[in-house]
C-alpha cells in the first residue's frame, strides 16, 4: 500500500510539472463536454469526455481506443482522467493499460438511475430506474460515442456505491455490451436477496468477463453490512463455475467509503488490463 501511495503522489506531482512545463499562454485541457438527448429517459444527459494524448496525432489517424464509461461522472472525472493518463500515456511509459477514451455521465437522479428495484421509504421515491438507465447507456450513449469517436469494441463500466451496485447488475446481464466491470464499494445492501437470485441465474457469458470488486472499511458497526456481504457475493459467483474466473475482490482496510475510489480505481484498472 505504501507503493500505491507513492504512485498517487507521483500522479499529482506529474500533473503539476506538466502544467509548469507548458507555455504560460497554453491551456491544459482535461476534457470537454457534450449533451445527448435520450429518448429512453426522455431527458437530456450531459457527459464529460477525456481523449488520449495520441488521439489527434497525425501519425495515429487509424488508431482506435477502448472506452471507459464512468458513473457519478462529475465526481470522479478528473480523478479517473489523471489515473488513466498516468497508466497509459507514452510520456510516462508505464504501459499498464492502453490509452482509453473516458466518458463520464453526470448525474440527474442517482437513486432512480442506479437502482433496479424499489425499497420502501417514508418519503415518496423515484427508485428502480436502473434498467432504463442501462438501456440508455447501451442503446443510445455507446452507439453515439462509437459514431463520433475512434473507438474499439472493448468497454469498461465503472461505478461507486450505488453506481457500483448498477455495475454489478450490468455484469450479471448476459446481454450487457461491456467487457469488464469495476465495482467500487458497491451498495449490495440495497436488495441483497435480489443480488443472490441474480447470481443463481447468471449466464456463462458473464462469468467469462472481468470483474473487480473493491471493499472499503466502513467500521466495525458496518462490517456485516459491507465487507461480509461483498465476500459472500464473491463466493457465490466463484461457485458458479469450476473453471478459473476473471473476478477479483480486494479489501482496503485503510480506506473508507468516500476515499476508496482513488486507490481502488488504479488497482481495478491494473487488474482488468493484466495480461493472462
Q: Structural domain boundaries of the chain?
A: 32-55+62-273
Q: What CA–CA distance (Å, rounded) separates 270 from 53?
A: 20
Q: What CA–CA distance (Å, rounded) separates 201 from 240?
A: 9
pLDDT at 1 over 70: no
Over the stretch 152-177, which tens digit does the pLDDT of each residue have?
999 999 999 999 999 999 999 999 99
* Beta carbons of 125 and 37 less than 8 angstroms apart: no
Q: What CA–CA distance (Å, rounded) separates 45 from 70?
A: 14
User: What is the per-residue pLDDT for 103?
Assistant: 98
Q: Are strands 247-252 and 43-50 parallel, antiparallel or unpaired?
A: unpaired
pLDDT at 247 over 70: yes
Over the stretch 17-31, which tens digit does the pLDDT of each residue have?
443 334 455 777 889
Which of 99-108, 114-123, 206-215, 267-276 shows the lowest per-residue confidence on average (mean pLDDT)? 114-123
- Cα 136 to the chain's mean position, in Å? 16
Contact partners, residue 20, CB within 8 Å, separation at least 6: none
Q: What CA–CA distance (Å, rounded) separates 62 from 184?
A: 34
* Beta carbons of 115 and 165 less than 8 angstroms apart: yes
Reply yes or no on domain 32-55+62-273 having CATH 3.40.50.1820: yes
Over the stretch 196-232, which tens digit does the pLDDT of each residue have?
888 988 998 999 999 999 999 988 777 677 899 999 9
What is the grid cell recorded at 46?
Answer: 450531459
pLDDT at 2 over 60: no
Q: Which of 77, 80, 82 is nearest to 9 (CA)?
A: 82
Contact partners, residue 175, CB within 8 Å, separation at least 6: none
When comparing pLDDT for 75 and 13, which is higher? 75
Q: Kindly list the distances between the CA atom of residue 54 and the CA atoms of 82, 97, 175, in Å, as whole numbers in the listed order.
A: 15, 14, 32
Q: What is the mean pLDDT of the chain?
A: 88
Task: For residue 16, name the pLDDT band (cuts at 50, 70, 90).
Answer: very low
Over the stretch 70-97, which tens digit does the pLDDT of each residue have?
999 999 999 999 999 999 987 777 889 9
Q: What CA–CA distance (Å, rounded) separates 84 from 96?
A: 9
User: What is the per-residue pLDDT for 170?
Assistant: 97
What is the grid cell recorded at 153?
Answer: 469494441
Amino acid at each position: 500500500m505504501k507503493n500505491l501511495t507513492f504512485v498517487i503522489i507521483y500522479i499529482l506531482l506529474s500533473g503539476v510539472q506538466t502544467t509548469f512545463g507548458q507555455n504560460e499562454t497554453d491551456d491544459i485541457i482535461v476534457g470537454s463536454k457534450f449533451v445527448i438527448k435520450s429518448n429512453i429517459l426522455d431527458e437530456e444527459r450531459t457527459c464529460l469526455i477525456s481523449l488520449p494524448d495520441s488521439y489527434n496525432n497525425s501519425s495515429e489517424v487509424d488508431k482506435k481506443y477502448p472506452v471507459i464509461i464512468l458513473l457519478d461522472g462529475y465526481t470522479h472525472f478528473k480523478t479517473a482522467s489523471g489515473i488513466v493518463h498516468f497508466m497509459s500515456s507514452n510520456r510516462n511509459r508505464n504501459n499498464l493499460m492502453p490509452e482509453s477514451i473516458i466518458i463520464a455521465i453526470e448525474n440527474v437522479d442517482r437513486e432512480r438511475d442506479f437502482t433496479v428495484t424499489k425499497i420502501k421509504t417514508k418519503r415518496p421515491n423515484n427508485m428502480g430506474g436502473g434498467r432504463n438507465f442501462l438501456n440508455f447507456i447501451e442503446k443510445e450513449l455507446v452507439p453515439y460515442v462509437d459514431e463520433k469517436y475512434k473507438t474499439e469494441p472493448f468497454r469498461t463500466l465503472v461505478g461507486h456505491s450505488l453506481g457500483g451496485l448498477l455495475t454489478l447488475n450490468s455484469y450479471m446481464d448476459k446481454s450487457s455490451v461491456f467487457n469488464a466491470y469495476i465495482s467500487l464499494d458497491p451498495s449490495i445492501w440495497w436488495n441483497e436477496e435480489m443480488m443472490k437470485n441474480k447470481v443463481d441465474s447468471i449466464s456463462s457469458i458473464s462469468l467469462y468477463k472481468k470483474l473487480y470488486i473493491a471493499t472499503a472499511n466502513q467500521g466495525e458497526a458496518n462490517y456485516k453490512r459491507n465487507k461480509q456481504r461483498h465476500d459472500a457475493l464473491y463466493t457465490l459467483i466463484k461457485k458458479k463455475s469450476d473453471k478459473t474466473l476473471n473476478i477479483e475482490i480486494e479489501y482496503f482496510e485503510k480506506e473508507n467509503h468516500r476515499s476508496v475510489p482513488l486507490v481502488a480505481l488504479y488497482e481495478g484498472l491494473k487488474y482488468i488490463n493484466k495480461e493472462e
